[in-house]
Structure 1
Amino acid sequence: MKHFILAAIAGLSLAATAAQADPAEGIWQTEVDDGAYAHVQLAPCGGAVCGTIVRTFNASGEYNSPNKGKQIVRSMAPQGGGAYEGQVWRPSNNKIYLGKMTLAGERLQLKGCIAGGLLCSSQTWARVQ
């Protein structure tokens, strides 16, 4: 009986953790940028979401980019309604931009902006898992 109670408590703890997961968490595929694309793992970082490049691809297939393991989405804080604000890093020019993310189902729109958000470039990422 004691083992059953402990197992039930452990199960409830896992369910509570899963229920608190941010809906943006997971692996996302970027759009092609400068001939390559990546899989990015979005995961909690403090009270925000951060994204790390975990796989990289080009026209020849998967390759070992020097950007693997680097954080591309930085401190995206939830704003409600699927919106996030933080920073994004663009590997092709090594610049960090004011970032915005909007989650809509299995799509994630990311924007990197300058001039206080007046000029933005965007990509739409697809959920891989």
Structure 2
Amino acid sequence: MRNLIAGLLALGLVTPASAAPDVTGVWMTEDGEGAVEIAPCGDALCGRIVWLKSPLDAHAQPVRDENNADLALRDRPLCGMEVMSGVAPGSDGWEGGWIYDPEAGARYSVAIAPDGADAIVVTGFIGIKAFGRALHWHRAAATLQRCDAAPTLKASAGNKRS
């Protein structure tokens, strides 16, 4: 039996329980209004907005973080903004970090789990994950026109609140 499991592991047909599934890539949000790139950020994962359906406001200016509870952060452009950080391998995928919802101007705990080959479930919650809101994100097309200036996600430095 041990040889069978070792063989399956070698072929990649079974993964060890401690290995978190890969959820990196560019994902379209459930409402189709944006795309978030999830990428390694140190020992964890971070996420940054890389596409917006409506990247400009009524004055042809980049859409800003106008709902942020911190008044000093309301002038930040949404495109390129870090909206997820500190997400680490957990028991059922990735967890332990935070996610920021620009529409609500609020930050939540987050858990991410794969949902097939081209989808993930992103759950934002306060306190207990079971009472959170689960959103289904789908992998974005490779031809997606990015709105951010940086082609890849970089580790954040000194970002107090998003």
Say whether the fold is shared (TM-score over 0.5). Answer: yes
**How far 1:113 sits from its partner (Å)?**
0.6
- Establish whether residue 54 from structure 1 lines up as the match of residue 50 from structure 2: yes
- Provide structure 2 residue ranges, at least 5 long, that are not aligned to the other structure: 1-20, 57-61, 65-77, 143-162
The residue aligned with 1:100 is 111
Matched residues, number: 101
How far 1:107 sits from its partner (Å)?
Answer: 0.6
For the residues of structure 2 that align with 1:28 and 1:92, how far apart are their CA atoms?
18
Counterparts of 1:119 and 1:24, CA distance in 2: 22
Summarize the Cα distance change of 1:119–1:126 in structure 2 as closer, same or farther, 3 Å threshold: same
The residue type paired with residue 38 of structure 2 is L
Give the TM-score taking structure 1 as reference length.
0.69
Aligned partner of 1:27 in structure 2 is 26
Q: 1:91 to 1:116 in 2, by over 3 A?
A: same
Match of 2:79 in 1: 68
Q: Is residue 102–residue 110 contact of structure 1 (8 Å, CA) maintained in 2?
A: yes
Distance 1:118 1:108, change over 3 A: closer
Identity of aligned residues (%): 25
Give the distance between the partners of 2:39 and 2:122, measured in 1 at CA: 16
The structural deviation recorded for 1:80 is 5.4
Distance 1:65 1:110 in 2: 23
Question: Does the residue aligned with 2:22 lie in a helix, a strand or coil?
Answer: coil
1:69-88 to 2 correspondences below 5 Å = 69-79=80-90, 83-85=93-95, 86-88=97-99
- Runs of 4+ aligned residues of structure 1 deviating over 3 Å after TM superposition are none
Q: 1:114 aligns with which of 126, 136, 141?
A: 126
The 3 A distance-change label for structure 1 pair 102 and 119 is same
Higher relative contact order, structure no. (Cα contacts within 8 Å, ≥ 6 residues apart): 2
Query: Secondary structure of the residue that 1:126 maps to in structure 2?
Result: strand
Q: Deviations over 1:4-47 (max 9, x none)?
A: xxxxxxxxxxxxxxxxxx72221110011xxx611111111111
